[in-house]
């Protein structure tokens, strides 16, 4: 059975749209670094939260909605699993060689003559510090030389370098480019990693069928990582459908007991979260340690977190730093963010704002929201980096559009202190105020079911135009977690005197008439009306409300992820990249005065 058939249904309308970015997502009620206390000095312990329009599902279907006691980390079983096992799969722990041996010199000579295998081995030697001092820039350069000659293992390694930002700048699209070249040559490691990219929606639009296809191809070649991922998907499928996970866990445990690091990390996370298995920190750490011995970065990161909080072990900041550093050195964004926090707050190490900013930057470049917030504040305050309002705004904006409350507040405060020239330099284009949009109405609204983004968008419009009170959730309560619906369910439907219409269901692709929906959106906005739009996200689409345009002609949209208010300020660009979308418009009919008198929230709008 193709378990992703069911998982795709679950994710289709259950996802937030994110830029290519991190595996770990932040929750509005999770363990927070922000609020009334310094985000650098303290960590608030969170609590479990049912998170509608699950962020984790948008990346990896992890609708296992438990919030870990981490720096605002939305765990998600497969998210953490994929991050560690796939970024560590090629054994990148350095032996820290300090001398150049003869074998390395001889191989380097062959490499300099253009021998692809020798070039690959030279890159590997520099990456692992074997025969020469570790040098990731040199490693990436040699991998590239071999990769350009079609050497599949080198293409795989170069793709992973771009994925981790090791020796090269982080670049998800470039990572996918090289992984695809290797996977098309049946390289099993590249197939697993490429499946991960599709699974995560990083460097490509999220597509779970593609992810499963590549995982399976890898597994069929006997690749342990591909096999472990498929087994983990089976566990997730059982949990998501509320089925007995006994058989799925049995297969996962069997693989773990036979040394599969992916399965070991997965079991550890299930015990750590209490998902599918009773929560058991000591048992979780047992499996994390077994995976960590195989250089699994996520296992190392979570061992560090366990020491940071004293979960299953005696609290120990130095051990937290030690384990998080190992994960951070392998490119694990969670470990990088935690290590940055340790340097900022002086936990387990001497306070070092510059080193904190360095690690925050690494995690932020991968899309880690808390790291983006931390780096933005560092630039705002000149802590560890030169004070720079433009850079501060850029990083705060990355976190704010995902709904980070402190980033939203800090961004607004900073914008008020910046000159128009600085705002323009930061990429801010003034909005045109085409509608009577009140953000506070959206901030108070929430999406209450995991796949109710369509009726949620309808309710947002009704609230914005004053036809229903803020407590109105009838459409979502009727819809609940309906997974076989679309905006067609509202086509021609009249609610509180507002009739909704569905448009532009043309097949997406080069032939999609992009200018027609753009013209429709512009016309509706200029008439003072909002527009509902479906925008692509990993795993499917999510519905947003377009409320304005900016001075450059792009459209601005807003939506909800549970209680979080999220933004897309480049809707035109998003739809263009999607090569099409569907939109919802509406017609307002007058309501009789008697009803308006008894329902004071009703207003007559355009």
101-140 pLDDT, tens digit per residue, is 788 888 999 999 999 999 999 999 998 888 888 899 999 9
- Locate all alpha helices (DSSP H) within 382-404, ordered by sequence: 389-400
Residue 202: per-residue pLDDT: 76
In this predicted structure, the answer to whether residue 59 has a pLDDT above a threshold of 50 is: no
| Alpha carbon separation from 442 to 19, 35, 204, 557 (Å, rounded) | 22, 21, 30, 11
- Of the candidate ranges 261-275, 316-330, 456-470, the one whose mean pLDDT is the lowest: 261-275
In this predicted structure, the answer to whether residue 32 has a pLDDT above a threshold of 90 is: no
Under the banding of pLDDT at 50, 70 and 90, the label for residue 27 is very low
Residue 601: per-residue pLDDT: 54
The alpha-carbon radius of gyration of the chain (Å, integer) is 25
| Alpha carbon separation from 478 to 49, 454, 465, 507, 552 (Å, rounded) | 22, 12, 21, 29, 39
- Of the candidate ranges 211-220, 344-353, 409-418, 426-435, the one whose mean pLDDT is the lowest: 211-220
- Of the candidate ranges 156-165, 440-449, 487-496, 595-604, the one whose mean pLDDT is the lowest: 595-604
Residue-wise pLDDT tens digits, 321-368: 999 999 998 888 889 999 999 999 999 999 999 999 999 999 998 889
Is 348 strand, coil or helix?
Answer: coil
Highest mean pLDDT among 5-14, 123-132, 151-160: 151-160
Residue 132: per-residue pLDDT: 84
Residue 276: per-residue pLDDT: 81
Computed over every residue of the chain, the mean pLDDT equals 80
In this predicted structure, the answer to whether residue 383 has a pLDDT above a threshold of 50 is: yes
Q: Averaged over 241-267, what is the pLDDT? A: 86
Residue 158: per-residue pLDDT: 96
In this predicted structure, the answer to whether residue 240 has a pLDDT above a threshold of 70 is: no
Q: What is the DSSP letter of 410?
A: H
Q: With beta carbons less than 8 A apart as the criterion, state whether 547 and 558 touch.
A: yes
Is 136 strand, coil or helix?
Answer: helix
Close Cβ partners of 234 (under 8 Å, ≥ 6 residues apart): 3, 248, 251, 252
Q: Cα separation of 236 and 7, whole Å?
A: 9
Close Cβ partners of 19 (under 8 Å, ≥ 6 residues apart): 367, 398
Q: Delimit the domains of the chain by residue range.
A: 3-89+229-425, 102-222, 439-598
Q: Cα separation of 567 and 427, whole Å?
A: 15
Residue 591: per-residue pLDDT: 66
Under the banding of pLDDT at 50, 70 and 90, the label for residue 1 is very low
Tell me which architecture the domain covering 3-89+229-425 has in CATH. Alpha Horseshoe (1.25)
Closest CA to 411 of 421, 423, 420: 423
**DSSP letters spanning 29-57:** TSS-S-SSS-TTT----------SS-HHH
Q: What is the DSSP letter of 230?
A: H
Q: Averaged over 515-528, what is the pLDDT? A: 95
Which of 3.40.720, 3.30.1360, 3.90.70, 3.90.350 is the CATH number of 439-598? 3.90.70
Tell me which architecture the domain covering 102-222 has in CATH. Alpha Horseshoe (1.25)
Residue 142: per-residue pLDDT: 96
Residue 578: per-residue pLDDT: 83
Q: Cα separation of 291 and 103, whole Å?
A: 31
CA end-to-end span of the chain: 51
Q: Averaged over 364-388, what is the pLDDT? A: 94
In this predicted structure, the answer to whether residue 242 has a pLDDT above a threshold of 80 is: no
How far is CA 145 from its chain centroid?
31
Do 3-89+229-425 and 102-222 come out as alike in CATH topology?
Answer: yes
In this predicted structure, the answer to whether residue 277 has a pLDDT above a threshold of 50 is: yes
Query: How many other CB atoms sit within 10 Å of the CB of residue 349?
Result: 18
Q: Averaged over 166-190, what is the pLDDT? A: 92
Closest CA to 211 of 173, 239, 176, 163: 176
Q: Which one has a higher pLDDT value, 41 or 535?
A: 535
Under the banding of pLDDT at 50, 70 and 90, the label for residue 10 is very low
Highest mean pLDDT among 202-216, 281-295, 582-596: 281-295
Using left for φ > 0, alpha for ψ between -120 and 50, and beta otherwise, residue 96 falls in left
Q: Which one has a higher pLDDT value, 53 or 349?
A: 349
Q: Averaged over 6-20, what is the pLDDT? A: 34
In this predicted structure, the answer to whether residue 239 has a pLDDT above a threshold of 80 is: no
The fraction of the chain above a pLDDT of 90, given in percent, is 54
Residue 54: per-residue pLDDT: 30
Highest mean pLDDT among 74-88, 236-250, 329-343, 379-393: 379-393
Residue 36: per-residue pLDDT: 26
Q: Averaged over 483-491, what is the pLDDT? A: 88
Q: Averaged over 501-513, what is the pLDDT? A: 87
Query: How many other CB atoms sit within 10 Å of the CB of residue 184?
Result: 13
Residue 90 in tokens: 């090629």
Give the sign of the dihedral formed by CA 108, CA 110, CA 111, CA 113.
positive
Residue 322 in tokens: 């030690």
Q: Averaged over 63-80, what is the pLDDT? A: 33
| Alpha carbon separation from 195 to 18, 118, 238, 267, 604 (Å, rounded) | 18, 28, 21, 21, 51
Residue 58: per-residue pLDDT: 30
Under the banding of pLDDT at 50, 70 and 90, the label for residue 527 is very high
The full length of the chain comes to 606
Q: Averaged over 490-498, what is the pLDDT? A: 95
Residue 76: per-residue pLDDT: 39
């Amino acid at each position: 059975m193709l378990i992703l058939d069911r998982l795709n249904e679950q994710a289709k309308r259950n996802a937030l749209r994110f830029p290519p970015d991190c595996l770990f997502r932040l929750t509005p009620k999770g363990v927070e670094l922000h609020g009334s206390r310094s985000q650098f000095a303290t960590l608030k312990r969170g609590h479990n939260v049912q998170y509608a329009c699950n962020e984790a599902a948008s990346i990896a279907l992890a609708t296992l909605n438990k919030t870990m006691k981490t720096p605002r980390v939305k765990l998600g079983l497969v998210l953490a699993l994929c991050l560690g096992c796939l970024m560590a799969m090629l054994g990148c722990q350095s032996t820290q060689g300090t001398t150049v041996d003869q074998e390395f010199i001889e191989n380097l000579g062959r490499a300099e003559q253009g021998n692809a295998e020798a070039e690959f081995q030279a890159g590997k030697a520099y990456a692992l510090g074997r025969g020469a001092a570790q040098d990731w820039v040199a490693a990436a350069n040699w991998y590239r030389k071999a990769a350009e000659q079609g050497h599949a293992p080198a293409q795989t390694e170069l793709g992973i370098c771009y994925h981790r930002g090791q020796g090269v700048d982080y670049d998800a699209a470039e990572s996918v480019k090289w992984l695809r070249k290797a996977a098309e040559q049946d390289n099993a490691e590249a197939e697993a990693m490429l499946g991960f990219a599709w699974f995560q929606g990083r460097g490509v639009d999220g597509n779970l069928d593609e992810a499963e296809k590549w995982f399976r191809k890898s597994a069929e070649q006997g690749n342990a990582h591909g096999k472990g991922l498929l087994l983990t998907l089976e566990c997730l499928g059982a949990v998501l459908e509320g089925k007995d996970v006994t058989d799925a866990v049995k297969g996962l445990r069997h693989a773990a007991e036979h040394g599969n690091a992916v399965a070991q990390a997965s079991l550890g996370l299930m015990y750590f979260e209490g998902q599918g298995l009773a929560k058991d920190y000591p048992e979780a750490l047992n499996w994390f340690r077994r995976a960590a011995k195989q250089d699994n970065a996520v296992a190392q990161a979570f061992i560090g977190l366990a020491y940071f909080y004293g979960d299953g072990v005696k609290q120990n900041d130095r051990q937290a730093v030690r384990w998080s550093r190992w994960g951070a050195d392998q490119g694990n964004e969670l470990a990088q963010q935690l290590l940055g926090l340790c340097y900022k707050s002086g936990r387990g190490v001497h306070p070092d704002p510059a080193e904190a900013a360095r690690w925050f930057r690494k995690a932020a470049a991968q899309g880690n929201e808390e790291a983006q917030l931390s780096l933005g504040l560092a630039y705002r305050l000149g802590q560890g980096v030169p004070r720079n309002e433009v850079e501060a705004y850029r990083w705060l904006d990355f976190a704010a559009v995902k709904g980070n409350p402190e980033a939203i507040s800090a961004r607004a405060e900073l914008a008020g202190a910046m000159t128009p020239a600085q705002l323009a330099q930061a990429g801010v284009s003034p909005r045109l105020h085409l509608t009577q949009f009140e953000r506070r109405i959206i901030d108070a609204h929430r999406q209450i079911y995991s796949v109710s983004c369509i009726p949620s968008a309808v309710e947002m419009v009704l609230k914005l135009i004053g036809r229903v009170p803020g407590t109105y959730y009838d459409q979502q309560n009727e819809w609940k977690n309906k997974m076989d619906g679309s905006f067609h369910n509202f086509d021609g439907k009249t609610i509180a005197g507002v009739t909704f219409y569905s448009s532009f269901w043309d097949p997406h692709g080069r032939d999609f008439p992009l200018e027609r929906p753009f013209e429709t959106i512009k016309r509706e906005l200029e008439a003072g009306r909002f527009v509902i739009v479906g925008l692509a996200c990993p795993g499917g689409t999510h519905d947003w409300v377009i409320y304005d345009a900016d001075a450059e002609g792009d459209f601005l949209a807003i939506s909800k992820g549970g209680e979080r208010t999220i933004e897309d300020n480049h809707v035109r660009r998003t739809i263009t990249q999607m090569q099409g979308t569907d939109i919802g418009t509406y017609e307002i009919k007058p309501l009789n005065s008697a009803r308006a008198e008894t329902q004071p929230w009703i207003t007559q709008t355009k």
